[in-house]
Chains A and B, each alone.
Chain A
Amino acid sequence: MESKKNKSLKTIKWAEDIISGFDWSKTRELSEAEKNELASKIYASSINASQLRNLYYQLSKIKLGNISFSEEEIFAIIMNIAMREKIGNCSYVKLLQKDGREIYDILMSNSDELERKVNPELIDIMMDSGKTVEELKEYYMDLGLEKIVKEYEDGKRDIKNLYMAKQVLETYSSKRKLKKDEKSIVLYSLLNNALLYKGKSVLIENLYRYIKEMGYSSYECSSMIINLALTSKDKKEGYSYSRILSCNKKMEEAFVPIRISEVLFQKALSENLTEMHEEKTKQELRQIGVSEEIIEKKDIKNLYMAMQIVDGYNLRLRNDEKKAVLTEILKPALLNKKATNKLFLGRLCTELNSMGLSKQKVYGGIMSLAINGSWKNGLNYTKVLQMYYSIHESVKAEDINYDVSEVDVIKAISKNLEDEQIQQVKDYYESIGIDIQTKDNKKIENFFVAKQIVEKYDFGRTLSDIEKNSILECIVKNKNLSERNAIYLITTCSKLKSMGLKDQEVYGAIINLAVNGHFKNDNRYYYSDILSGVSSLDKVDKDDIDTNVEETTIVRAMISNINENKKGIINEYYSNLGLERFIAEDSDEKKENSNLYFAMFVMEKIKSQYELNENEQKTILYEMLKRKEFNEESSYHYNLSTICDKFERIGLTQEEAYSAMVNLTVNGSVTERKGFEFQKVKKSTSKLLELDKDEIQKNVSSFTINRAVIRNLDKESKGKLIEELKEMGVNGELVEQRHIGNLYFAKKIVDTYSFGRELSDEEKSSIITCILGSGQLKSKSNASGIERLCNELYNLGLSDKEVCGAMIKWGINGSATEQSGYDYSRILVSVGKVRELDAEGIYTHVNESDIKNSLRKSERVIKRCMKGVKDKGIIEKIEETKMELDSLIEKENQKDNKQVFTNDDMDDIM
């Protein structure tokens, strides 16, 4: 401190006037000691009153943006410069010794330092006490730098350096967001230099000012100082942090980058860890679950850097996933702290970074290398570590796999399964009834990976447990995975990924491959072949790999492995529908389980689509499965799912394929084209592939359903239907004479059509009578006349209800079209004629007049005959006709009596 004794009163007066001339109420009142200290700073060294006056004068001349400083502001500026002891790179004392012009120039060139108010922090720093100092200590303590605070309290450190280090850090972190730990390491690095201890009189602020004087911004200055502190600490030659701290001028020769890459920054941090940071890093690794063996064996720099790699890569990982990836990264012995040729991950990172690779690529490249063992060019992890310094010479950017995804993480976990995880996998498979049957825990990897694939694949809906487990079973029930050595499911996954497939596509491909046995569009290689030799995938076109798991595949998985659980479901399902004969072990009609299970899926899918009642469900299931080829004992095993598969390959959706299959099994064909009947295609379902999807009947018509129901009506149901019709009023004799199929359809037509009101029994029976009354239906052999006609109309494009309307029209009026030659009698004889009609020209709307017309039609005909007889004047002929009818009866009676007599006679003889 400059002694007052050596100063003129005038100078002291000047200094005191400056202090008292400032309105301290807006900052804080100064203590006497602070005032004295501040005054001594103002009249420091050989400064005299005229020099102070000159400074005041130069400041009063300055105009910043046309605004001059007020007297109070000039005082504040002088006090701040005095407390800082510098402005720009010029000391306060030297500034005052310069002539007016020079002072003016210096002030103008450092105008950003001309603060109009006194910075109270500077007073605290100047006094080495107060709020600012306390807060600074707290700041360091909060960052875990108790050691620095202690050294300061012990008088070993200058508060100015602590203050400036914080300023540098905060300026730097205003642009680069730093984590607390990173801040702590940076701060420690800034201050961890012997030159910065008290007594050496080296100030960070001086270096800062020097760089600033070189024309850099505050951020650039801060960044360069941090770079120096972090990266050039140990440089013996050139321009180390120490050297530049001690000789700021060296900064002009040194090349210090303004910006430091994230990778280099992290690497630098790893090399500047304090004991506290080391312990913290270990603690974090423990929390993640990394083994104690790794934590203790590996060099702390590598532990820290591995953490940065995993945390810094754009992939959100759970702790167990992080643990596995970290374990893979840290595996090489070269990364041990006691390794003979110890290597540092940070250095590999910076070398890769210097090749122009981004942080993501550097971290991804190292993770991929660690997990998969090598890069595209075949270089393995250890080799890459060993030759890190010349990596840019032997590796091209395109040789590196950068993309680390879920598949890689699964791989890392599968390679590092712990006892607890192994037991979990075993328990899971046991719970779903799959026996892992392996004592070799290595094989557990495959079961773990399979489970991950099924759990992680997005099926677009939530799969039931039984569906999931069925798929899982398809994946793991391959002997290669459980019996043969060195065959890993994850290897196939990685291979698929290396072909450019995304994670979801990889999972989908594996599921499709396992369930279907091969890829849809390339069946050269089977699941087993690919598992045992992934190189076969080199010959497969990526686009031929089906990656989307369709519902059909899920169903196929379900029917692939029928376990006891599924058998129970099948038995219950078919029992409930009254189809025990298909499931009873001793039944001649016992069906093959996979067909039973598949038919069940088909039914569950279509029953709501076609609003099938229980009887219709039962009937269609029966029709689908009734053929001997589907029997368990059949020598010719025929799979319903194979038919569906063919339909889907033609381009039908799952629903359409199921409907087409119902049409094929119930109607015997799905197309009008000859040669594709069930009997023809059953031996070679591939024949179905010759069909065009547009020529296939993709909807199940109500007539197909009814056809199936009719075929399976039992005696009781038939009797019930006949009684119902008679009770309704339909002529009993007509009912008895018509085939049950025609009766069923006639009633179904009237029941299905929407008349817009409830019909009376008489109306219903009249319409049914009209439909059944045609002479062309007289023979029971014409069993399916109505049904076939309905089907033709349906195929013409009419809806179920329209078909019913047309049939009613035809039945009542004898015609349903303007065109002649298509009356009911004629088309019943030749239903194919309907195809000649235009669907739009067919009347399908039944009106009240039609209903009225149907009522008592025969009675009206008979009455008209009566009238005709009257009108013709031959009414008396009635008696004559009656006599002829009586005679007809008589003769028939005689004939019958003769017959009876003969029979009685025969009895006597007997």
Chain B
Amino acid sequence: MVSTKLDRKALAEVYYVILSLNNEEFSKIPKNLIEAIKKNMDNEYEVNIYEIEKGNMQADTEKILATIYAYYLSSREEKKVIWDLIEFKKSKNTKAINFKKKK
């Protein structure tokens, strides 16, 4: 196990969510990523999948699952939308920074 900024409980939750993906979806996620998650997750943590379904999850869980979706599980069209949004968000943020600097 290596030190990471990601919450180990969140990694455990992520793992149990992706473990329930069907074979086709699961195979889209890089194996080394899955292995890295498995190796760094909190094995003692009792994941309650039903609570996650209800939205009760660790803060990092949502981010990691969204990242996995954005990079590996989303379709081409979805990816374009996501990246456009990210770019838009980034440029918006840059403008805001510059605006602050100008100020």
B85 cross-chain contacts in A, Cβ below 8 A:
870, 875
- Complex alpha-carbon distance, A792 and B54, angstroms: 28
Interchain CB contact under 8 A, B2 and A885: no
Interface membership of chain A positions 863-883, coded 1 if the CB is closer than 8 angstroms to chain B and 0 otherwise:
111101110011111110110
Interchain CB contact under 8 A, B66 and A878: yes
Pick the residue among B4, B23, B47 that contacts A729 (CB under 8 A): B23
Interface size class of chain A, counting residues whose CB lies under 8 Å from the partner chain? 35 or more
A731 cross-chain contacts in B, Cβ below 8 A:
19-23, 26
Interchain CB contact under 8 A, B48 and A869: no
Interchain CB contact under 8 A, B19 and A875: no
Whether a CB of chain A sits under 8 angstroms from the CB of B98 is no
Interchain CB contact under 8 A, A876 and B89: yes
Answer whether A823 and B50 are a contact pair too, CB < 8 Å, given A876-B93, A879-B86.
Answer: yes
A887's closest neighbor in chain B, by CB?
B4
Instruction: Scan residues 43-79 of chain B and give those whose CB is less than 8 A from a CB of chain A.
Output: 46-50, 52-53, 55, 60-71, 73-74
Interchain CB contact under 8 A, A861 and B6: no
Whether a CB of chain A sits under 8 angstroms from the CB of B90 is yes
Interchain CB contact under 8 A, B67 and A861: no
Interchain CB contact under 8 A, B20 and A858: yes
Interchain CB contact under 8 A, A858 and B4: no
- Complex alpha-carbon distance, A852 and B65, angstroms: 22
Interchain CB contact under 8 A, A729 and B66: no
B86 cross-chain contacts in A, Cβ below 8 A:
875-876, 878-879
B62 cross-chain contacts in A, Cβ below 8 A:
865, 868-869
- Complex alpha-carbon distance, A448 and B64, angstroms: 90
B37's closest neighbor in chain A, by CB?
A888
Interchain CB contact under 8 A, A888 and B40: yes
Interface membership of chain B positions 22-51, coded 1 if the CB is closer than 8 angstroms to chain A and 0 otherwise:
111110001011111101100000111110
**Chain A nearest CB: distance from B73 CB in Å?**
6
Answer whether A859 and B73 are a contact pair too, CB < 8 Å, given A731-B23, A889-B32, A892-B35.
Answer: yes
Interchain CB contact under 8 A, B22 and A863: no
Interchain CB contact under 8 A, B4 and A884: yes
The winner among B5, B17, B40, B67 for most chain A CB atoms within 10 A is: B67
Whether a CB of chain B sits under 8 angstroms from the CB of A857 is yes
**Chain A nearest CB: distance from B78 CB in Å?**
9
Interchain CB contact under 8 A, B49 and A774: yes
Whether a CB of chain A sits under 8 angstroms from the CB of B82 is yes
A812's closest neighbor in chain B, by CB?
B50
Interchain CB contact under 8 A, A888 and B6: yes
Interchain CB contact under 8 A, B18 and A858: yes
Whether a CB of chain B sits under 8 angstroms from the CB of A899 is no
Pick the residue among A737, A823, A865, A891 that contacts B69 (CB under 8 A): A865
B69 cross-chain contacts in A, Cβ below 8 A:
862-863, 865-866
Interchain CB contact under 8 A, B50 and A824: yes
The winner among A765, A815, A885 for most chain B CB atoms within 10 A is: A885
Interchain CB contact under 8 A, B67 and A885: yes
Answer whether A865 and B4 are a contact pair too, CB < 8 Å, given A769-B22, A876-B89.
Answer: no
- Complex alpha-carbon distance, A92 and B86, angstroms: 153
Instruction: Scan residues 812-826 of chain A and give those whose CB is less than 8 A from a CB of chain B.
Output: 813-815, 823-825
**Chain B nearest CB: distance from A255 CB in Å?**
109
A869 cross-chain contacts in B, Cβ below 8 A:
62-63, 66
Whether a CB of chain B sits under 8 angstroms from the CB of A776 is yes
B22 cross-chain contacts in A, Cβ below 8 A:
729-731, 762, 765-766, 769, 856
**Chain B nearest CB: distance from A808 CB in Å?**
15
Interchain CB contact under 8 A, B16 and A773: yes
B36 cross-chain contacts in A, Cβ below 8 A:
885, 888-889, 891-892
B18's closest neighbor in chain A, by CB?
A858
Interface membership of chain A positions 764-779, coded 1 if the CB is closer than 8 angstroms to chain B and 0 otherwise:
0110011001111010
Interface membership of chain A positions 781-816, coded 1 if the CB is closer than 8 angstroms to chain B and 0 otherwise:
000000000000000000000000000000001110
A815 cross-chain contacts in B, Cβ below 8 A:
50
- Complex alpha-carbon distance, A874 and B64, angstroms: 12
Whether a CB of chain B sits under 8 angstroms from the CB of A533 is no
Whether a CB of chain B sits under 8 angstroms from the CB of A719 is no
Whether a CB of chain B sits under 8 angstroms from the CB of A212 is no
Chain B contact residues, CB within 8 Å of chain A: 2, 4-6, 16-26, 30, 32-37, 39-40, 46-50, 52-53, 55, 60-71, 73-74, 82, 85-86, 89-90, 93
Q: A823-B48, A825-B49, A882-B71 are in contact. List 9 more A-B contacts (CB 8 A).
A: A729-B24, A730-B23, A731-B26, A732-B26, A775-B47, A856-B25, A858-B25, A862-B66, A876-B90
Chain A contact residues, CB within 8 Å of chain B: 726, 729-734, 737, 762, 765-766, 769-770, 773-776, 778, 813-815, 823-825, 856-859, 861-866, 868-870, 873-879, 881-882, 884-885, 887-889, 891-893, 895
Would you list the 10 A-B pairs with minimal beta carbon distance, nearest first?
Answer: A814-B50, A891-B2, A775-B47, A865-B65, A869-B66, A858-B20, A881-B67, A888-B36, A865-B62, A773-B20
